[in-house]
Amino acid sequence: MTDRISKEKIAAHLKTKEFGQEIHFYDRIDSTQDAAKSLAERGVQEGALVIAEQQIQGRGRMGRHWSSGKGGLWFSLLLRPKIPPTRIPILSRIASQSVSDALRTHLGIHCKIKKPNDVVVHGEGNIYQKVSGILIETSIQSNQLIWVILGCGINVYNRIPSNLKRQAIRLRDIVDLPLDRNRILAEVLFQLEKNYRRLLKNNKPAVVPNPPSV
């Protein structure tokens, strides 16, 4: 691993208006999701970002453990969308799409989306391997959406557990170039903000047929 995450380096690459303008960085944390929830309950504005070099209790969908060792991108973004709770699933789709767009734009990697929330690449042996996953957690009161925590994990330099090496892959194993996680994160946030704002403005999904789902 040759790069190092920092608030200053992330900010230097940001092209967003709101997403990531407030950054909470931790070298080691239980869960970025839990830290972002705490910010949400304190009334912090939309777009606040929690990112960690390492998660001790990272999790995916249905409470599954997410291996979150040093070298990956593990972050959570606070959103306060004015949409009905029935539309929450589209946020997961937009997030997956945005990660895929960012990897294609920044690194030339062509991904597919595996429903409901995984970004995968076509690996050896004609199988699809997971490079990123999305987790959506919400607060709903009186049938109104109060906040959304959009969690994302992207395998970059981190070690993949031996029992997951067939299912998962790292960007380091795909791209034979030095990788800067700060720049990758900035591009993901840019794509996320663009697609998210389009959704709110048009009140319809901001996704396109590329990449196809598997």
pLDDT digits (tens, 9 = 90+) for 31-83: 999 999 999 999 999 999 999 999 886 555 545 555 678 999 999 999 999 99
H or E element at residue 125: none
37 and 31 Cβ atoms separated by less than 8 Å: no
Cis peptide before 211 (omega within 30 of 0): yes
* Short-list 62, 46, 50, 195, CA closest to 133: 62
80 and 148 Cβ atoms separated by less than 8 Å: yes
Instruction: Report DSSP state, residue 45.
Output: P
Tell me the pLDDT of the chain averaged across its residues. Answer: 89
Phi, psi angles (nearest 5°) of residue 211: -90, 155
> In Å, what is the CA distance from 41 to each residue of 2, 50, 69, 80, 126?
36, 14, 27, 12, 45
DSSP, collapsed to helix, strand or coil, labels residue 62 as: helix
Amino acid letter, residue 14: L
Burial of 112 (C-beta count, 10 Å sphere; 0-12/13-18/19+): middle
DSSP string, 175-197: --S---HHHHHHHHHHHHHHHHH
Tell whether the model's pLDDT for residue 181 goes beyond 70. Answer: yes
pLDDT reported for residue 208: 47
H or E element at residue 101: helix 88-107
What mean pLDDT comes out for the span 162-190? 93
pLDDT reported for residue 126: 78
pLDDT reported for residue 209: 45
Lookup result for tokens 């869960």: 31
pLDDT reported for residue 155: 96
pLDDT reported for residue 194: 96
pTM to 2 decimals?
A: 0.90
Instruction: Report DSSP state, residue 15.
Output: -
Instruction: Read off the pLDDT band of 1 (50, 70, 90).
Output: low
Lookup result for tokens 């690194």: 107
pLDDT reported for residue 61: 53
181 and 156 Cβ atoms separated by less than 8 Å: yes
pLDDT reported for residue 64: 59
Percent of the chain with pLDDT over 70: 88
Query: Could you report the per-residue pLDDT of 100-143, keeping only the tens digit for each?
Result: 999 999 999 999 999 888 999 987 777 999 999 999 999 999 99
Structure tokens at 108: 């030339």
pLDDT reported for residue 3: 83
Tell whether the model's pLDDT for residue 173 goes beyond 90. Answer: yes
* Short-list 195, 177, 179, 182, CA closest to 13: 182
